[in-house]
Amino acid sequence: MKPEELLELAAGAMERAYAPYSRFTVGAALLGASGRVYLGCNVENAAYGPSNCAERTAVFKAVSEGERRFAAIAVVGGPGGRPEGPCPPCGVCRQVLREFCTDDFPIYLRRADGSAAAYTLGQLLPESFSGANLEV
Ligand code: THU
């Protein structure tokens, strides 16, 4: 699947964001190794802390459906449902992706002009902590 296609699915998922407190809506589309796409949006909470990001929603949906190997993720987000530039995944979501993805895992963001900006997990989370560090 092309990065632009996955970004379009992420933009659709963003429409379902529940973000009444920040008004910052985010959508994610996670492509599984099976070819199935898992969509996620941010889901906020009045107590703030229990809020969940779009990327983690997508990862948790996938893992709970039995898929643990992933090909790529696309993320689209912005204030007031109008993304103007790239919405990079937060640090917690990068760490959650680390659990299931290797350094070469592609992360697509949408630039203001609509084009895809491609990064790898290794670029966005260098020198990361993973299960390998727990193996003594
Ligand atoms: N958010 C995401 O869903 N993903 C990100 O990568 C960045 C932040 C959400 C969390 C919160 O609901 C809102 O955007 C503002 O931080």
Q: 66-82 pLDDT, tens per residue?
A: 999 999 999 999 998 88
84 confidence band (pLDDT: 50, 70, 90): confident
* 31 confidence band (pLDDT: 50, 70, 90): very high
Ligand 1, closest atom to CA 19?
Answer: 12
Across 38-49, average pLDDT = 98
Ligand 1 residue neighbourhood (C-beta within 6 Å):
19, 22, 24, 26, 42, 44, 51, 53-55, 77, 89-90, 93
Residue 136, pLDDT > 90, answer no
Buried b (16+ CB within 10 A) or exposed e, 29-67: bbbbeeeebbbbbbbbeeeeeeebbbbbbbbeebeeeeb
Give the helix, strand, coil percentages of the chain, each rounded to 5: 30, 25, 45
State how far the Cα of 111 lies from the Cα of 133, in Å rounded to an integer.
35
- Taking residues 27-55, report their average pLDDT: 98
pLDDT at 82: 85
Q: How do beta strands 37-41 and 24-32 pair? A: antiparallel
